[in-house]
Structure 1
């Protein structure tokens, strides 16, 4: 797996140097991989209780990201997924602690407990009062090991916050330790992974998962979970994790809680938001009062795709610790949420209140022509998708099919007359078609509607409306003929229609001339270098393939030409 590193043996030091470069409130010990709070009183006697934490690297932004006023005074980093040395931990304690002492927040792994525990003993021998708080919040192991042997995972971040706020409030070491231990005992965490991570020194994933599998109940060191399960929708996975936490922690209706939605490093914000949505709803369905919610990559496992949920029970005192100010760069903020999801309804356009107009023959003819175009676009969905996949994102076929469905769904009064029909078609396509096609077609139809007279349009009126529509598309997107876009089919068609009508050709013959011009224009795009849109990023790689948008234009123009009424200019 590719990684942006130099020498794998130097990743931890170089990472810490980068983090400290970006955080003016932090400093890096010259001799050890320890990040400390900058600006601590030079006289140790003036310092309050120092809260420290740490462990193996690879969990970023933990632990260095939580060094700051109101959270950690220091963070000690080992190699990736490896406990730091006793000497490094002791150096961190010496750097930040004074007579008030130090509290070490440790996740429940053997290496961390041994190295931090021995460092604490050495610090005490030097006259620095030191306490150890062990976090063991992983409820996935509830049926496997006794509570004291569970792993410490993402809930550790909340213990950092509670302990750091208590220390900043001036409490004694014993009081800070008591609050930290109480917080650690009042929460549960469970995770799910969609894949493994790759330790830089190993160069390969720690395990393999099939496309339809997940690991439930994993830790934070790239290991497999408690069990392998089938991939299910996000809501189902969230419900299973919440059920395990609620059962283990004895959560009851009326209780007050905080929720932490933690990405494991490779989960995009989109998916974390989907998970947070269901986790919040699931807690509320249990009658719990969710006071605070945080979501993001807070304690990760390198680039592992997955998520963990932490639920912490609250009282007023603990909530005050979570709300206390901190300048730690990775703390995600206040976490306040509304009591319920808030919805607002956008105001309806003034035209929506207008009385329906009686239908006209011209409006009915436009409806028949539009439905013919819709049917043609449906029939060509696969072809348009194939063309767009070669030089774009492959969504044009389905976009046109959605537009066709939106036209068929328009109510009867939408087709009262040509002006109303074009306006309502534009509104429907704007809502139905994503990407650039929706705005282009909506703008074109709205501009054309404004160009038509209220009375039954003549062929020349339709031609002028077509020209106005093409101009609107060019104006909106900045495309000109030769840029390899839909304009390369539309522009010659509009010009050919106007010229044919001016020469006295019957409307049907004039329209046939316009369709032939559009077809030639679309075919010519195969030899054009794209200058706009996604195809422009491919340069010459799109040569030999006609533009999908221009091809779609030909599809619906041909359908209009063969519609039951001939073409719109013939409906006058």
Structure 2
């Protein structure tokens, strides 16, 4: 398994050194794998120290949460392994004064034993120590009592609440009581899409098939409580939240905060989709989401998946979550945007958009001719989606097939009564494709269609030569917009030969249908020729010679829709 590591046995120390370089308010404690706050007051003036930690591999937990207003120290064990007792004891000694220390421990045997023994040793030295154990994993509620469950991502919220409470200068007992109350009102459940891989290991601790997900997993690569089939994000979110809501007995009208946590290999895009689903789900239950956070706050190395945490809150708990901290990894904020849509300003339409009402007899004729031709284009693009995706993946980002599928859907959706004039039809298509296609294809096609529409603006009944001129103006627009020309291995290498063949055929005495057949043949030859061209424009130009061997997807798409139009080109 490829990793950005040196010696796996030194990964924790080297990681801490990297974190410390970016955390001016923290330092590594001697030879121990402990990150502590700098600049603490003299021992007699120190507030309650908040100390947490556990096995490494959960970054940014725990070192990322060291700082005023959160953790005084983070004790880091080897990957997925509890830190030794002595390291915990040194953290207590380094950060505590007469007000003592609160140890926040996730409910795993090794952590409880080592932090518990360190607490006893510290007490023997006269340092007051309390322990708060986080056991927020609701997936285990059917098998075990609450105090026997695992501690997972909700621990970060407990760090924040306890740290803010300690910063107020209140006694240890009060800080501990506040943290325990938070734990009692906290529930978390996660899902894994696959396993994670420890440094030095050549494979993941477990693997999931494409048709499997793991519900209720822990954060150390251990398996969950149920293996089931994948489901859409909304349904999966409902499954996780239902367990949490039932366990916490949250009722309509209550207030909560929400944390959607990534497990290490989940894109922010997917986490945001889950956050959306969770917020909407809770809102439907008439549960008010006062704050929400979304990101990777407590991971499991490179595990794909997420967890959802819900914490019941009141004004006091919210104030603690809102308080300032210098922790570099606390996401801050959390304020929820209750209204996420803004009206589009209504402006006058300065473009020559088509009139959607049929006003002339010949208008209906154009609509009846154009609609079947455009539907044929759409069906051809849909049929070739996989081919276009494959070609684009070899020299680009692989989105061409999906873009052309969206273009096809937009074309089919164009109403017949918007196709009553050639110029208006092209303008309508330009608008539809501009709105449907992202990336580069949308602007290219939209610009080409707008330019062609302008070319035909004064031609109520365009001749074949008028269409040829419009065709050429479309290609010129693409070239001007993208800065490419024929020979650069782009869509123009199919489009320009087609134009030359069509225009040349008409001037040579061919009728429109014969000239179009020549144009299709020229486009298909031009598209195939791109397989041997070195790219000089577009994303493929970054690959140079590595792009050789396969034709350009954009050029193949041009040939595809030109071929689809051929049966609809009449001889006149």
TM-score by length of 1: 0.92
What's 1:104 paired with? 103
For the 8 Å contact 2:471–2:499, the answer to whether it is kept is: yes
Measured against aligned partners, the alpha-carbon deviations of 1:175-196 in whole angstroms (never above 9, x if no partner) come to: 1111111111111111111111
2:229 & 2:520 partners in 1: Cα distance?
Answer: 52
What's 2:379 paired with? 378
Measured against aligned partners, the alpha-carbon deviations of 1:267-300 in whole angstroms (never above 9, x if no partner) come to: 1111111111111122222221110111111111
1:124 & 1:163 partners in 2: Cα distance?
Answer: 20
For the 8 Å contact 1:377–1:552, the answer to whether it is kept is: no
What's 2:40 paired with? 40
1:327 partnered with 2:326: yes
Change (3 A) 1:97 1:387: same
1:16 & 1:56 partners in 2: Cα distance?
Answer: 13
1:355 & 1:368 partners in 2: Cα distance?
Answer: 16
For the 8 Å contact 2:358–2:364, the answer to whether it is kept is: no
Counterpart of 2:456 (choices 442, 452, 455) is 452
Measured against aligned partners, the alpha-carbon deviations of 1:361-382 in whole angstroms (never above 9, x if no partner) come to: 3784476256325415524654
Counterpart of 2:557 (choices 552, 561, 567) is 552
Counterpart of 2:538 (choices 523, 533, 541) is 533
Measured against aligned partners, the alpha-carbon deviations of 1:13-40 in whole angstroms (never above 9, x if no partner) come to: 0010001111222111122111011222
DSSP 3-state at the match of 1:78: strand
Q: How does 1:205-220 map to 2 (within 5 A)?
A: 205-220=204-219
DSSP 3-state at the match of 1:143: coil
For the 8 Å contact 2:374–2:411, the answer to whether it is kept is: no
1:515 & 1:3 partners in 2: Cα distance?
Answer: 50
2:210 & 2:130 partners in 1: Cα distance?
Answer: 45
1:472 partnered with 2:481: no
Greater shift in the superposed pair: 199-208 or 12-21: 199-208
Change (3 A) 1:48 1:405: closer
For the 8 Å contact 1:369–1:565, the answer to whether it is kept is: no
1:367 & 1:541 partners in 2: Cα distance?
Answer: 46
DSSP 3-state at the match of 1:165: helix
Q: CA deviation at 1:100?
A: 1.8
1:80 & 1:415 partners in 2: Cα distance?
Answer: 65
For the 8 Å contact 1:373–1:555, the answer to whether it is kept is: no
Q: How does 1:287-366 map to 2 (within 5 A)?
A: 287-345=286-344, 347=346, 350=349, 356=357, 358-359=359-360, 361=362, 364-365=365-366
Q: CA deviation at 1:406?
A: 2.6
Q: How does 1:1-400 map to 2 (within 5 A)?
A: 1-41=1-41, 43-345=42-344, 347=346, 350=349, 356=357, 358-359=359-360, 361=362, 364-365=365-366, 368-369=369-370, 371-372=372-373, 374-376=375-377, 378-379=379-380, 381-383=382-384, 385-386=386-387, 388-390=389-391, 391-392=394-395, 393-397=397-401, 399-400=403-404
2:442 & 2:371 partners in 1: Cα distance?
Answer: 16
Measured against aligned partners, the alpha-carbon deviations of 1:389-428 in whole angstroms (never above 9, x if no partner) come to: 1334555455434434433332233122222111001111
1:259 & 1:380 partners in 2: Cα distance?
Answer: 43
Counterpart of 2:526 (choices 501, 512, 521) is 521
Change (3 A) 1:226 1:385: closer
DSSP 3-state at the match of 1:408: helix
2:50 & 2:373 partners in 1: Cα distance?
Answer: 72
For the 8 Å contact 1:51–1:73, the answer to whether it is kept is: yes
For the 8 Å contact 1:188–1:245, the answer to whether it is kept is: yes
For the 8 Å contact 1:71–1:161, the answer to whether it is kept is: yes
For the 8 Å contact 1:195–1:209, the answer to whether it is kept is: yes
Change (3 A) 1:515 1:353: closer
For the 8 Å contact 2:367–2:416, the answer to whether it is kept is: no
Q: CA deviation at 1:54?
A: 0.6
Measured against aligned partners, the alpha-carbon deviations of 1:289-338 in whole angstroms (never above 9, x if no partner) come to: 11011111111111111111111111111110001011101101111103
Counterpart of 1:420 (choices 418, 424, 437) is 424
Measured against aligned partners, the alpha-carbon deviations of 1:483-523 in whole angstroms (never above 9, x if no partner) come to: 11111122233345455556676655655554454344333
Change (3 A) 1:150 1:365: same
DSSP 3-state at the match of 2:158: helix
DSSP 3-state at the match of 2:316: helix
2:570 & 2:348 partners in 1: Cα distance?
Answer: 32
For the 8 Å contact 1:460–1:498, the answer to whether it is kept is: yes
Change (3 A) 1:469 1:194: same
1:111 & 1:480 partners in 2: Cα distance?
Answer: 66
Measured against aligned partners, the alpha-carbon deviations of 1:157-183 in whole angstroms (never above 9, x if no partner) come to: 111101100111111111111111111
1:397 & 1:32 partners in 2: Cα distance?
Answer: 54
Q: Which runs of 5+ in 1 are unaligned?
A: none
Q: Which runs of 5+ in 2 are unaligned?
A: none
Greater shift in the superposed pair: 424-433 or 87-96: 424-433
